[in-house]
Amino acid sequence: MSEPRDYGFETLAVHAGAAPDPVTGARAVPIYQTTSYVFDDVDQAASLFNLQQFGYIYSRLTNPTVAVLEERMAALEGGTGACATASGHAAQVVAFFNLLRPGDHLVASQKLYGGSINQMTHSYPQFGWQVTLVDPRDPENFRRATTERTKAYFIESASNPDGIVADIQRIADIAHEFGIPLVVDNTLPSPYLCQPFRWGADIVVHSLTKYLGGQGNSIGGVVVEAGRFDWFQNDKFPLMTEPCASYHGLRFAETFGTFAFTVRAKVMGLRDLGPCLSPMNAFLILQGIETLPLRMDRIVENADRVAEFLDSHPLVRWVSYPRLPKNRTPELEKYCPRGVGGVFTFGVKGGYEMGVKVVDHCELLSHVANIGDTRSLIIHPASTTHRQLTPEQQKAAGAGPEVVRLSIGIETVDDIIADLDRALHRAAKETGVLVTSS
């Protein structure tokens, strides 16, 4: 392909990073199921290990199948480079491994996937990384929480599970006032529906497991860099600017410029932490990406219908779906005008017990701790994905006792609606919740 930005999103989703195999002519991306690669000679091997030459050394660091996925993700996000990882959580760890040292501080949105909150509040402190969670609906909360040791802000472009769209540009502007990067988890809308780099984000992470893979068969993550953050503007990022003893004094930002973050993520993050993506999973995720635009259009269309149905249902107290007319915000219209995907929450009358029963009585919708599948999925976050959080943290994350989370798929929408309606009425009968007009 020529310069990726000359092509439309749909074309990039199919072609970016790939070409017919030069040996066999195979059109699909081959699965390079290998651990290692034969070097031409000792000199070539030495130059690869010294980062003087790019190439393949060992599949924990680089793999041809994974490389196609990385180039495709960089193209879809409009970035300069990408580093694929074993999961979305691994992508977050690798990203912050480039930024934070013991004693450093991160300001993050409190509107996050429950596993991310748990990761940040319980696991990151084991690295000596401190995290403050703030409400992203007021960008000034990030400014107020910033300290001298703050090295990054972190948000979800649209929050899981309640779909709140953050003011990416304003939060990025505040981050840049302090000379620090904004890291955005863009999993929920996917790059098809939201482009954080357009609005000032510096690093994007994804759980490839979700909409990008799209079929619930592979776990993966990715870190993508915009390539425009000035690592030398202050002394906050010695990991990027100071000599690296592991590579004979090489300075990543100086040597690799606009893709320095990606290089360090691979040769330090993947090398030493080890969360590499398998070539088989990379292959499967690539197949999913090819149909991402088609799936997302259908998913948003279905989600619009399901949310409208639930909003008028007599057993539903509220629906947190950003595209309902009463829920629309300026942030939605600016950053995600075509939708935020098919993940949203609703609150049932009858609280915790009713929420659990609704999930149990669904037949078409699968009770699964995942999102972004072609299949419609349902879960009760307070008893599952957000179970480790305190009741206060659950409510702050939009996962209170009455909350049910949906991930709408591509099935016939009338079938999705009928399944939810039956489940709601059966749950109400078992729990004694009265059916009243809404």
Last-in-domain residue among 288, 318, 348: 288
70 lies in a domain? Answer: yes
12 in the same domain as 61: yes
In this prediction, residue 1 carries a pLDDT of 55
CA distance 117 to 416: 30
Helices H / strands E in the chain, number of each: 17, 12
3-state secondary structure of 82: strand
335 lies in a domain? Answer: yes
Q: Which residue do the tokens 């990067």 mark?
A: 181
21 in the same domain as 127: yes
The closest of 190, 177, 193 to 142, measured between CA atoms, is 177
316 in the same domain as 283: no
Check: CB of residue 110 under 8 Å from CB of residue 117: yes
CA distance 403 to 407: 13
423 in the same domain as 372: yes
Output the domain CATH number for residue 314: 3.90.1150.10
112 lies in a domain? Answer: yes
In this prediction, residue 314 carries a pLDDT of 96
238 in the same domain as 316: no
Last-in-domain residue among 288, 314, 347: 288
Last-in-domain residue among 223, 256, 288: 288
Model pTM score = 0.94
298 in the same domain as 268: no
Q: Which two tokens mark 71?
A: 């180039």
Q: Which two tokens mark 157?
A: 């472009």
118 in the same domain as 76: yes
Expressed as residue numbers, the domain containing 170 is 4-288
Check: CB of residue 158 under 8 Å from CB of residue 333: no
Check: CB of residue 247 under 8 Å from CB of residue 50: yes
Tally the residues of the chain. Answer: 438
315 lies in a domain? Answer: yes
**What letter does residue 130 receive in the DSSP assignment?**
E
CA distance 48 to 52: 6
Chain centroid to CA 26: how far? Answer: 31
269 in the same domain as 306: no
436 lies in a domain? Answer: no
Check: CB of residue 316 under 8 Å from CB of residue 435: no
Per-position pLDDT tens, the chain of length 438: 555 558 999 999 999 999 998 889 999 999 999 999 999 999 999 999 988 888 999 999 999 999 999 999 999 999 999 999 999 999 999 999 999 999 999 999 999 988 899 999 999 999 999 999 999 999 999 999 999 999 999 999 999 888 899 999 999 999 999 999 999 999 999 999 999 999 999 999 999 999 999 999 999 999 999 999 999 999 999 999 999 999 999 999 999 999 999 999 999 999 999 999 999 999 999 999 999 999 999 999 999 999 999 999 999 999 999 999 999 999 999 999 999 999 999 999 999 999 999 999 999 999 999 999 999 999 998 888 777 778 887 787 777 899 999 999 999 999 999 999 999 999 999 999 887 754
CA distance 142 to 175: 8
Q: What are phi and psi of 242, to 5 degrees?
A: -90, 160
Chain centroid to CA 24: how far? Answer: 35
Cα dihedral 188, 190, 193, 195, rounded to 10, equals: 110
Please count the structural domains in the chain.
Answer: 2
Pairing of strands 343-348, 403-407: antiparallel
271 lies in a domain? Answer: yes
438 lies in a domain? Answer: no
The closest of 369, 379, 356, 366 to 409, measured between CA atoms, is 366
Region of 411 (left: φ > 0; alpha: ψ -120 to 50; beta: rest) is beta
183 lies in a domain? Answer: yes
Beta strands in 252-389 (DSSP E): 316-320, 343-348, 366-367, 377-379
128 in the same domain as 275: yes
In this prediction, residue 389 carries a pLDDT of 76
322 in the same domain as 220: no
Output the domain CATH number for residue 153: 3.40.640.10
249 in the same domain as 187: yes
Check: CB of residue 239 under 8 Å from CB of residue 101: yes
127 in the same domain as 212: yes
Pairing of strands 377-379, 366-367: parallel
Check: CB of residue 220 under 8 Å from CB of residue 209: yes
In this prediction, residue 356 carries a pLDDT of 95
The closest of 112, 158, 156 to 337, measured between CA atoms, is 158
Contacts of 45 (CB under 8 A, 6+ apart): 39
Number of C-alpha atoms within 13 angstroms, CB side, residue 229? 35
Query: Where are the alpha helices (H) located in 50-189, listed in sequence order?
Result: 64-77, 88-97, 114-118, 140-145, 168-177
